[in-house]
Amino acid sequence: MSIRERLSGNEAVATAMKQINPDVVAAFPITPSTEIPQYFSTFVSNGQVDTEFVAVESEHSAMSACIGAEAAGSRAMTATSANGLSLMWEMIYIASSLRLPIVLSLVNRAVSGPLNIHNDHSDAMGVRDAGWIMLFSENNQEAYDNTIMAHRIAEHKDVQLPLMICQDGFITSHSIENIELIEDEKVKKFVGEYHPQHYLLNKKEPIAVGPLDLQSYLFEHKFQQAEAMRNAKQVILDVSADFEKMTGRHYSLFEEYKLEDAEVAIVCMNSTAGTTKYVVDNLREKGIKAGLLKIRVYRPFPTEEVAKALSNAKAVAVLDKSDSLNGAGGALFEDVVSSLYVNKVSVPTVNYIYGIGGRDTKASDIESVFTDLLQIKETGKIDNAYRYLGLRREEK
């Protein structure tokens, strides 16, 4: 039987980590992810896990310690947010290039400057091309479940890539929700023990980690990373299927909410999906065929599947909780429209930048997006594909 509990998103992730009982956790505090290593450190001090907890002097050191632990043959985890992830930046790339299946909980927060401790997705989008698998979590339950599945995905022999689980800072990380926990013994059986094929402390196979890699080989090694990312898509589906057998909770690459017959649809990630579902339900009661596509797996990006899921829509809006500052829309928008184009699916699609620095996104804001989409559906015209939602503007 599952265990009913009331936990914040940070507590849920820390509880999952306790059940996994990794070999090493290295962490440095930063709001709003601080509670994850804080809660976990109490499990260490209470003897509930036998993890080696390394309190380091910076986030760069935290990722460095995780890299060293994984390279030595240990299972390693950490957590961070925003500027902490930025300080890890060098080591984030090294972790993926060394094919080390580290698991990181990323509690999404605006990256400075100016200084802001509230939620947007600028931290995650800043490392979207670093070679990490990226899972997004609408609520506390999903943050917990994604953490339980993470090692099975990252450590798979056809993947061997690091993985980050994203959740919205304060919105889910500090909000308490009812969730269902899995029994400890089931988690341990599901996750399994970590037995890497190659590691530094294997005296039977001396290896070098992180050697100089010049023109003769680097291109091929980067291709191998790309192939591993492509392989990850099927592994994620397989692990999710096993997870459903254990818990009854279904996960895929994304969630289609009343999308099958939707004429107007929104694409978004993380907690905004909950607000969008509420609006979709209200619009459906009025006879408006609205729908939602909630991205769960952002890397690898499910291009063919997204294009197919949106192919019957008459108008689509992609919501980005960060601005790429490129004059051509946000990162999620670029991935979605690229998916549509490459797969020869033609759907009028617009982009909305929203929620920067924790700006509230209300049901009325989402309703206004659907109102715009209904107009696009009727007229077939898009005056401006790059839009802002909830932005205050000076009157001219």
CATH code of the domain occupying 3-247: 3.40.50.970
Length of the chain counted residue by residue: 396
Architecture of the 254-389 domain: 3-Layer(aba) Sandwich (3.40)
Confidence of residue 393 (pLDDT cuts 50, 70, 90): confident
Model confidence, pTM: 0.97
Average pLDDT rounded to a whole number, residues 302-329:
97
Q: Which run of H or E residues covers position 32? A: none
Q: What was the pLDDT predicted at 358? A: 98
C-alpha triplet 91, 59, 202: angle, nearest 5° = 55
Same fold, 3-247 and 254-389: yes
Give the integer Cα–Cα distance in Å for 302 and 304: 6
Which pLDDT band holds residue 1 (cuts at 50, 70, 90)?
low
CB 127 within 8 A of CB 92: yes
Give the tens place of pLDDT for each residue, 166-207.
Answer: 999 999 999 999 999 999 999 999 999 999 999 999 999 999
pLDDT in tens, 88-139: 999 999 999 999 999 999 999 999 999 999 999 999 999 999 999 999 999 9
With a CB cutoff of 8 Å and minimum separation 6, the contacts of 328 are 334, 386
Express each pLDDT in 193-250 by its tens digit: 999 999 999 999 999 999 999 999 999 999 999 999 999 999 999 999 999 999 999 9
- Contact of 177 with 13, CB cutoff 8 Å: no
Residue 190 backbone phi and psi in degrees, to 5 = -65, -45
Peptide bond into 114 cis (omega under 30): yes
CA pair distance 88, 91, nearest whole angstrom: 5
Segments making up each domain of the chain, as ranges: 3-247, 254-389
